[in-house]
């Protein structure tokens, strides 16, 4: 039986499930313990599991990631929270040059089973330094797995799978999705990394989206349906590993593909998706892949400007409609 819970509450449920199951799992980050998280994703965990397993830290991303790396190398399964994904820049050397490469450079003798959770994306008016979508940063680093769920159920299943994974995972939670709700099944939930979801089917176009762009893509598909255009919507869920089979099958069935990306256009994940489709399914296409993206600019904090910058359902509809004319 399913219950309706928020994306925000799904974080706490997933962490509690895995901490209950495995005593080596612990949570570390700024304000994750006493305050229950700056986005209120971890309330009650300190009281339930104690201060040894739910730890507040100083305001130092380098300290958080360094402590998590050392703990993972010594048999624990840390979940490290970086409050805003923008702040990954301050500890990126440790993530990209140490965590991502240690298993490879030790010939598999040292595993790093750790998860780096972070709040990603725009839509809440936090300005240029607190609103970026940076999943393409992590996607570009060999050795990191990259996850970005769009629903509460997916969040629980994929966070559980990430915690149990033997490799480092960067887990992007979208800030604008925290208050949204969705049905979640009872009992222990565990998903599989690297599996996309077809959340809507249609025979005319395929729209590929991630995280907060998924509900916008679905909303656009419903509007397009009123215009006689039926869209398949693919929620990638993971960028690394990437479910190319589901992606290519959906693209081949319609012959027209649109990617909807919140990250800036230059070197966004949709460029890689487009490359894969062109190489693997070129003769199934009826037109070039079209990318719908955020402009390559620092994000504005003014509501009207931020809304104009990020892809919207209306913008998706307009671009798809004009392309099909």
Domains plus CATH for the chain?
2-185 (3.40.50.970), 197-324 (3.40.50.920)
CA distance 171 to 159: 7
* pLDDT score for 96: 98
* pLDDT score for 325: 79
* pLDDT score for 316: 98
To the nearest whole percent, how much of the chain has pLDDT over 90?
99
Mean of pLDDT over the chain: 97
* pLDDT score for 1: 75
Query: Which residues of the chain carry a pLDDT beneath 70?
Result: none
Catalytic residue among 30, 61, 135, 157: 61
Mark whether 130 is an active-site residue. yes
* pLDDT score for 254: 97
* pLDDT score for 114: 97
Mark whether 61 is an active-site residue. yes
Catalytic residue among 18, 30, 81, 130: 130
Q: What is the pTM of this model?
A: 0.97
């Amino acid at each position: 039986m399913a219950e309706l819970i928020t994306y925000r509450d799904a974080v706490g449920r997933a962490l509690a499930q895995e901490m209950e199951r495995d005593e080596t799992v612990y949570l570390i980050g700024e304000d994750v313990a006493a305050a229950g998280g700056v986005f209120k994703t971890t309330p009650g965990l300190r009281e339930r599991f104690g201060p040894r397993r739910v730890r507040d830290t100083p305001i130092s991303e380098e300290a958080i990631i360094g402590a998590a790396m050392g703990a993972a190398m010594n048999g624990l399964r840390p979940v490290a929270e970086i409050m805003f994904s923008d702040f990954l820049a301050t500890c990126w050397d440790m993530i990209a040059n140490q965590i991502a490469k240690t298993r490879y450079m030790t010939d598999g003798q040292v595993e790093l089973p750790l998860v780096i959770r972070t709040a990603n994306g725009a839509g809440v008016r936090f300005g240029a330094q607190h609103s970026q979508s940076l999943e393409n940063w992590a996607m570009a680093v060999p050795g990191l797995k990259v996850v970005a769920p769009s629903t509460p159920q997916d969040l629980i299943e994929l966070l559980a799978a990430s915690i149990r994974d033997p490799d480092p995972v960067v887990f992007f939670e979208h800030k604008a999705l925290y208050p949204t709700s969705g049905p979640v099944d009872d009992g222990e939930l565990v998903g599989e990394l690297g599996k996309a979801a077809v959340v809507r089917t249609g025979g005319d176009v395929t729209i590929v989206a991630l995280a907060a762009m998924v509900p916008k893509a679905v909303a656009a598909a419903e509007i397009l349906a009123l215009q006689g255009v039926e869209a398949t919507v693919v929620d990638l869920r993971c960028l690394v590993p990437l479910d190319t089979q589901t992606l290519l099958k959906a693209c081949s069935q319609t012959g027209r593909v649109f990617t909807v990306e919140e990250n800036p256009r230059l070197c966004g994940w949709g460029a890689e998706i487009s490359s894969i489709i062109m190489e693997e399914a070129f003769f199934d296409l009826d037109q070039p892949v079209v990318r719908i993206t955020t402009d390559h600019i620092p994000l504005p904090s003014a509501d009207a400007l931020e809304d104009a910058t990020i892809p919207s359902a209306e913008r998706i509809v307009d671009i798809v409609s004009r392309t099909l004319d």
